[in-house]
Amino acid sequence: MGKFEVLDHPLIQHKLTIIRNRDTGTKVFREVVNEISTLMAYEVSRDMPLEDVEVTTPIEKTVKKQLAGKKVAIVPILRAGLGMVDGFLNLIPAAKVGHIGMYRDEESLQPVEYFVKMPADIDQRQIFVVDPMLATGGSAIMAIDALKQRGAHSFKFMCLVAAPEGVKALQKAHPEVDIYTAALDEKLNEDGYIMPGLGDAGDRLFGTK
Ligand code: PRP
Ligand code: URA
């Protein structure tokens, strides 16, 4: 079973409370999602492998560390996942970005895929799938299915708010995937929204409601 971690650094908790607040407008919401994503990228990259490299300082030659292992791809689930990309790229600027478009049917709550565009070497990359909300888990599960169909096999999933139902479903469908969230909330309501959550992440990020 992959990891399940709540990244509850005090700065992350503080910033998450700001975006939960219904009075927080689009501009601040977007800025703070970006900041939280950078903090989360710092945490989830802790176990990145290193290798020795020779470096010549102004004083002498020495052997120190540099990142090794697979190259990284960030895959936001559209739309709301887009809000997490720049924060991540602040720390891993050379990462490639794949996009996967998916929306939840409002009646059935089932995800509908409408767009997939991945880097050509996606099968060789460490993939960070990002989406602020893990509610029923349907979107994350279908996104990882779509990536697996394209040969990808190394995943971490990052969200801001998760519902227990979504964590369970994602772990069942893709048990090897590491899941990182800034908060594990109480439950889903009858409309499939996370309680207390932060509302509709896409609408709050893009000002569409
Ligand atoms: C939201 C969110 C996730 C999904 C989570 O997207 O960004 O992708 O719902 O719900 P699930 O875990 O039950 O699948 P939405 O469908 O509202 O699309 P949007 O990002 O385009 O607004
Ligand atoms: N999608 C959202 O944007 N918010 C939720 O609470 C659930 C799904």
H helices of the chain, where? 10-20, 26-44, 85-91, 138-149, 164-173, 201-206
Q: What is the CATH number of the domain that holds 151?
A: 3.40.50.2020
pLDDT of the residue at 178: 98
Which structural domain, as residue segments, surrounds residue 91? 4-206
**Residue 196 pLDDT:** 98
Candidates 198, 121, 204, 137; CA nearest to 173 is: 137
- Per the rule left: phi > 0, alpha: psi between -120 and 50, beta: everything else, 11 is alpha
Ligand nearest to the CA of 166: 1
Mean pLDDT of 167-180: 98
State yes or no: 201 annotated in a binding site: yes
What count of other Cβ atoms lies within 10 Å of the Cβ of residue 186? 11
| 103 CB-contact burial (10 Å; exposed 0-12 / middle 13-18 / buried 19+) | middle
User: What pLDDT was estimated at residue 70?
Assistant: 79
Interval 90-103: pLDDT, tens: 999 999 999 999 98
Q: Write down the pLDDT at residue 109.
A: 87
Ligand 1, atom 7, lies closest to the CA of: 80
| 55, β-bridge pairs | 62
Instruction: Decide if pLDDT at 209 tops 90.
Output: no
Is 83 flagged in the annotation as binding? no
Task: State what percent of residues in the chain have pLDDT above 70.
Answer: 100
Q: Provide the number of structural domains found in the chain.
A: 1
